[in-house]
Amino acid sequence: MSDSGYILTVEDEPVVQQSNKRILERRGYKTKQAYSLAEAWRIINESPPSAIILDVQLPDGLGFDFLRKFRETSNIPVMMLTALDTPQDVIQGLEAGGDDYITKPYDLSVFVVRVAALMRRASIVPELLSLGPIQLDTAAGRAYFNGDDLGLQQKEFALLQQFMQHPTRVFGSEYLYEKVWGKDMLGQDNPLKVAISKLRTKLSATGYTIFVTRGEGYSFERE
């Protein structure tokens, strides 16, 4: 992932910063930390983030004012994360340009889900995707089962990435072909069938496989 593919967390409480950094990076997101608005501006000017998680009450000003100025030049998604919890505070944060507003204290599982929604708006995929014992390193293009490299070829990896990003979805052949091969299938589905067969073989020890539903397509499920 490029350097711009990171989440900037702007928060002056070290305990909150480190907790959020740990949970986000465990989910595969790259992060940078700012403890003041001045530091946030410096980091943004060096390399714009993909999303920002912004406290309101900071040592050198209010996140609301920061966000209004930021919105003059950027549409990068911003989540407000603050102890200010009145309806007026929430309205002010959203009207200033916030995409989401979470009040402290907050549940970490809810926080993670809402960050994922924020990142979908930024069209960013985590560097690490995990499903049970299977892990994808999307930056390196490698897949692992319990830490062992599965030895996937490029097309096999791209297929598995599609399946793991949407683990309950049934994919049509045309859709997968277009996504992985980058062109219309035009009735020539043999390359897809071959790649699916090879991928299924390499997944045989993982407890997951690729099912075929006649007339619908392919899905990724537990055996």
On whether residue 47 sits in a domain, the answer given is yes
Q: What's the pLDDT score for residue 1?
A: 36
Do both 94 and 145 map to the same domain?
Answer: no
Token output for 144: 């692992």
Residues 115, 139, single domain; the answer is no
Q: What is the CATH number of the domain that holds 45?
A: 3.40.50.2300
Mean per-residue pLDDT, 184-208:
93
Radius of gyration of the chain (CA): 21
Q: Tens of pLDDT along 47-69?
A: 889 899 999 999 999 999 999 99
44 and 80 within one domain: yes
What is the structure's pLDDT at 125? 61
Q: Taking residues 141-170, report their average pLDDT.
A: 90
Structure token pair of residue 48: 């714009």
Of residues 64, 177, 75, the one with CA closest to residue 122? 75
Q: What is the CATH number of the domain that holds 140?
A: 1.10.10.10
Residue 54 near residue 80, CB atoms below 8 Å: yes
Residues 153 and 198 in one domain: yes
The verdict on residue 40 lying in a domain is yes
Whether 134 and 209 map to the same domain: the answer is yes
| Residues 85 and 20 reside in one and the same domain | yes
Last residue of a domain, one of 121, 136, 164: 121
Do residues 107 and 39 both lie within one domain?
A: yes
Q: Look up the domain containing 205 and give its range.
A: 128-222
Contacts of 159 (CB under 8 A, 6+ apart): 176, 180, 195, 196, 199
Share of the chain above pLDDT 90, in %: 63
Given 83, 103, 121, the domain boundary residue is: 121
In tens, the pLDDT along 117-139 reads: 888 877 666 678 888 889 998 87
Give domain status of residue 193, yes or no: yes
In a domain? residue 1: no
Cα 67 from Cα 41, distance rounded (Å): 11
* Statement to judge: residues 47 and 114 lie in one domain: yes
Cβ neighbours for 140, distance < 8 A, ≥ 6 positions apart:
none
Residues 144, 187, single domain; the answer is yes
Amino acid at 196: I
Please give the tally of structural domains in the chain: 2
- Domain end, chosen from 73, 96, 121, is at 121
Write out the E strands in the chain. Answer: 6-10, 30-34, 51-54, 57-58, 61-62, 78-82, 100-103, 128-131, 134-137, 142-145, 148-149, 208-213, 217-222
What percentage of residues in the chain have a pLDDT greater than 70?
Answer: 96
Co-location of 146 and 189 in the same domain? yes
